[in-house]
Amino acid sequence: MNVDEFRAYLKDRGYDQDTIDSYVKGVEKAQDYFGDKPIEEIDIDGFNGYVTHLLETGKNTEGNLVGLARYVYFSDMKAQWIYFAAILGGREVFPSIEERLEKLTDRETAERIFSNIDVPKLGEGPEKYSIATNQLMEQLRKDLPDHIWKRVLAGNHHRIPLESFAKHKKWLEKAGSVDEWLKQMHEKAVEELDEHCRENKIWYEQVITPEVVEYVRSSQEILSGIRKGDWIYNTKFPYSPMSYLAETAPDEKRYLMCHCVLAREAVKSEAPDIPMEWCYCSAGYGKLRYDVAFDVETEVEVLESVFSGSDKCRFRYKIPEKFR
């Protein structure tokens, strides 16, 4: 274990000392569990067995699980990191939706709706999340008008710091027009992907190949957008782009497109039924750069998604009047 280097890595990324200590202890507990075999040599089945052990013993804490996931990423264990991203990526979403629901309605409404949802425990598999997502959509549609629950879903539920998108405001000001901004945004995205491809680096949870770079290069809608009238049209980048491009079976292709750990298992199993409108949650993430650049909460519409039978997820974002 590279404990000292891991501590320095976490410190460089802004974690406070208590969190760093918690994450390091989590990794040390995992190493104790695996014995003489270094964590760097553990495969996905081994980590899955350990996560099951944590769940069974009630030790599935943030420090034990997220700390180990951070160490896996730090150690450049690509496949294992993708596994952890799948089981932990949605851990903040339901609490965030509940908070936004209370803000846009009231505490009583939020408690009533979430009392009917079986929110999975930390570390439980993605299949549990799709059941909870179906329950949530049923409750939202039953209790609230469409325009309210769509706003509830279209929030920043992965709690991404808005400072991460500050560059878009600067780019828009420098570009001088929405059209030029979108063009430059796309060019920068292609450059970034090309760099990750050449250096064999994971881009978020994705492996980038030359084919993936060309796929994005071929359409400005991907990782940027195209302006049509008062709207910006955007197509989602696939969750597993390399496999997505090679896949020909429709259902598998839809699965490989979907990023949502709270619903994607339902694409394969076709149960439970997840409505397309759940993707307003994804739209909420997608519109953050526009919210920051335009300095206003942007109106968004879901046009198509894997839950409408498409092999693409596509959205449009309303351009505020002052930028048209």
- Higher-pLDDT residue of 288, 261: 288
The 3 state secondary structure assigned to 120-132 is CCCCCCHHHHHHH
Does a structural domain hold residue 313?
Answer: yes
pLDDT one-digit tens code per residue, 290-317: 999 999 999 999 999 999 999 999 999 9
Averaged over 63-74, what is the pLDDT?
96
Which domain, by its residues, includes 316? 165-323
Phi, psi of 207 (to 5 degrees): -90, 130
**Radius of gyration, alpha carbons of the chain:** 20
pLDDT at residue 123 in the model: 93
Q: Are residues 57 and 175 in the same domain?
A: no
Last residue of a domain, one of 110, 128, 153: 153
- Range 125-138 average pLDDT: 91
Q: Provide the token pair at 257.
A: 């497109």
Q: Which of 202, 217, 312 has its CA nearest to residue 256? A: 312
Q: Assess if residue 225 is contained within a domain.
A: yes
Contact 81, 253 (CB under 8 A): no
The overall average pLDDT reported for the chain is: 94
Looking at residues 14-31, what average pLDDT do you find? 96
Residues 102 and 80 in one domain: no
Does residue 275 have a pLDDT over 90? yes
Asked, for residue 159, whether it belongs to a domain, the answer is no
Q: State residue 270's pLDDT score.
A: 74
The pLDDT of 284-293, averaged and rounded, is 95
- What domain count does the chain have? 3
**Residue range 37-65: average pLDDT?**
96
- Same domain, yes or no: 107 and 227: no
Helices 107-114 and 126-143 pack at an angle, to 10 degrees, of 130
- Residue 202 and residue 235 in one domain: yes
pLDDT of the residue at 2: 84
Q: Is the pLDDT assigned to residue 247 strictly greater than 80?
A: yes
Residue 271 predicted with pLDDT over 80: no
**Looking at the domain assignment, is residue 158 inside a domain?**
no
Cβ(317)–Cβ(231) under 8 Å?
yes
- Same domain for 174 and 139, yes or no, is no
Residue 320 above 90 pLDDT? yes
pTM: 0.86
Alpha carbon distance 240, 291 (integer Å): 27
pLDDT band at 202 (very low <50, low <70, confident <90, very high): confident
Single out the residue in 153, 185, 205 at which a domain terminates. Answer: 153
Same domain (yes/no): 183, 313: yes
> Residue 126 pLDDT > 90, yes or no?
no
Claim to verify: residue 174 and residue 304 sit in the same structural domain: yes
Q: Are residues 147 and 171 in the same domain?
A: no
Residue position matching structure tokens 């929030």? 155
Residues 267 and 177 in one domain: yes
pLDDT tens readout for residues 3-12 = 999 999 999 9
Q: How far is residue 307's CA from residue 271's CA, in Å, rounded to a whole number?
A: 11
Do 114 and 243 lie in one domain? The reply is no
Query: Phi and psi (nearest 5°) for 232?
Result: -105, 125
- Asked, for residue 140, whether it belongs to a domain, the answer is yes
Q: Is 270 exposed, middle or buried (0-12, 13-18, 19+ CB in 10 A)?
A: exposed
| Claim to verify: residue 53 and residue 136 sit in the same structural domain | no
Q: What is the CATH number of the domain that holds 64?
A: 1.10.150
Contacts of 287 (CB under 8 A, 6+ apart): 154, 298, 300, 315, 317
- Euclidean distance between CA atoms 65 and 53, whole angstroms: 11
Residues 126 and 170 placed together within one structural domain of the fold: no
Residue 86's pLDDT band (cuts 50, 70, 90): confident
Residue 201 pLDDT: 86
